[in-house]
Amino acid sequence: MNAWKEGWFTEESNGLWDGESKNLKVKQVLYHKKSEFQDVLVFESESYGNVLALDGAIQATEKDECAYQEMACHLPLVTVGHEPKRVCIIGGGDGGCVREVLKHSSIEEVVLCEIDKEVIEAAKKFLPTMSCGLEDPRVKVINADGAAYLKQHKNYFDVIINDCSDPIECAQVLFSKDFFITCREALVPNGIFSQQSETLWLHLDFISNLKKDLEQVFDQAKYAYVSTPTYPGGLLGFLVCSTNPDMDPSVPRRIESWYNKLDEKTKDSLKYYTDKLHTASFHLPAFAAKKLNQF
């Protein structure tokens, strides 16, 4: 796949956001390989640092990855009602979510279940600020199908983060009700599941249907969104799901025990997440709140 032309990378929509495309000026291509599962590309851009693209779609850039990675992890980890010890990340081969999960001192084990080892290798070489936590002794990297792995670990994880790519090709199964059931069974009582859930501006009907599916499996599911300039529509969201009908996913139960007690170095490393932004991210614009029944 040759997605760059005359010094510019043009994102391929794959049918998910026809009618628009993100373009980034390329300084140099750093890594390009067709893996068993997808086309893996890393290039140095003019304005966003190094960029990871899979099958022609941008997954992360050094400039704005902090927004997605921090919110994908800290929303569920602070929402869970107890000190989390075990976390499973589905996808996320760039390592950014692993880095953020490790900022919670209670963590004893992080399983990164990334089916494509080429993504991990590319990240280790060219995305060091994201992949820096992969060598931590608490981290276990599994190159396997996430659903199959979770079926072998029922009632085990405190938090599961589905850091998957868009719902096409091999990632489609990670948006299915069967997969959500597998995730629920892999969680401990009062566990939290977080699902990457696309953008309000382009996929609102899809998000609405996804939320309905999740609500059939979990006791509550609420949508939160984050500013991501390099994602189509400029926003990306998560459906944070609770296994307890009395545990509102938008309520940050562990703010006092985590964020407010962070040492200055760790708090300074947070570029996007704040305690106030945690709550604000669940307050949706009117058109989306009405569609998702989230007021």
Q: 67 Cβ partners below 8 Å, 6+ apart?
A: 226, 227, 228, 271, 272
Q: Is 289 helix (H, G, I), strand (E, B) or coil?
A: helix
Contact in structure between 125 and 31 (CB atoms under 8 Å): yes
Contact in structure between 284 and 199 (CB atoms under 8 Å): no
Question: How open is the CA angle 183-186-190, to the nearest 5 degrees?
Answer: 95
**163 in catalytic set:** yes
* Rg, C-alpha atoms of the chain: 18
Choice among 163, 263, 268, 275 that is catalytic: 163
Q: Which two tokens stand for residue 178?
A: 């069967």
Contact in structure between 50 and 128 (CB atoms under 8 Å): no
Active site residues: 163
